[in-house]
Structure 1
Amino acid sequence: MNKISMLLVVIVAASVLSACKSGAPGGGATTDTSAQSSASGSGDLATRGTAETSQKADEPQIDYMRRDIDVNIKDGNDALQKKDYDRAEKIFLVALNQCDLYIGQEARQAAILNNLAAIYEEKEMYLQAVPLLTKAQKLFIRAFGRKSQAVYITLGNLGRVLAKQHRWEEAANVYQTAVGLMEEDAKVVKSESYREMLDKCGEAWEKAGNAFKANKINAKIKALKAPAK
């Protein structure tokens, strides 16, 4: 997964757990076992079939809706990092439904939407990812304020997804917004992530055919490379 997406997983997990601990629903996991009959056959095949049936019967069927939201988010993040995208999507969708049952869940909702978008990006389902990222950045603003790191990282993710669709002008405008937010923090301007955002913004403006704005971004990049006097 893209580095900036993985960074967001860490940032969001910490932010959500610290900022939204109250109001989360609790619950426990339930299990459901089902017996399966194995086909008869030779000794080895029958033994193996019986063992496999027993193993499947022992596997727990988790009722994710009855679990704590943060537990689901953590498990979803774990599945996402392991590239088990189908499982991660399933868990995140349940967690999103859980958030709808409680007020003040903007940070959790934004985290889940961002990670669902990461799944759809990996599956090249870009049209599905765009509205999720658009909504996620707005929710992050409501939860943490417009200067939050999660906001401009989400915008960076949105710009990347738009660029993958060759929607260059849209991508450039999104990157430009992210650059502007980053420039409001003197420490962030010195970071590698700021330089990377400038590079992506400049490239998008060039491919959008806007040489004027591309040159302005390239001038900022050149200034960063200039030795301090």
Structure 2
Amino acid sequence: MTILRTRELTKDYQARVLHGIDLAIEPGQFVTIMGPSGSGKSTLLHLLSGMDTPTSGQVFLGDDELTALGEADLTDLRLRRLGFVFQEPHLLRTLTLRDNIVLPGFLADDEPREAVVARADALLERLSITELADRDVTQASGGQLQRIGICRALINTPEVIFGDEPTGALNSSTAAQILDIFGEVNQDGTTIVLVTHDPQVAVRGDRVVMLVDGRIAEDVDLGQYAPEDRTERLQQVSALMATRGI
């Protein structure tokens, strides 16, 4: 049983960006997508998450074909079953940080608002940022805002979390803390798919998919991450990147 699957996926802009991508991701995997600039990494992420539509081919989330859904149904599916963390958290400045977290839960309208707020507070506590709840966007650091973004992504208990360079704007210490959080979320059973150019990020996943010129050039199983294996995994990922001229 796969949680995400593509079949002969292509995407054209002025030229073809993705060429017949066949990819299957199992529930609970932590997959990183790497590749040179312009290789189609973010394009593939956008298609997997239903944020963009392919030129041809299919994308499945479980048994549901995303590429067959209308915009309203696709928006509803993204809200309830998927979570998104970007390089910048894109929080609403007119809301408190807690209100930014609960907004997707209120929009889903699947349970009482009190339950959504309680879950938001539990996420804030879990990520050690309870004191930020009533602050606004200007009163938190970049790392704190990214933690808020992760809370928001988790509020509707998604099946898959997508990240596009989620640590790209953070210093190395803060990035490591954010990656620890992703690891904990993954251990809870949530599937994670991250786009990154950074081998320090890629070693945290259990699988690296390497894109080159819009095609899957490598698909490497790293196994479950353990801190004591970090150096060996970093060497493996760095060698993989060097082989592909990255």
Same-fold call, TM cutoff 0.5: no
- Structure with greater proportional helix content: 1
- Structure with greater proportional strand content: 2
TM-score (norm 2): 0.29
Higher relative contact order (CA 8 A, sep 6+): 2
**Largest Rg, 1 or 2:** 1
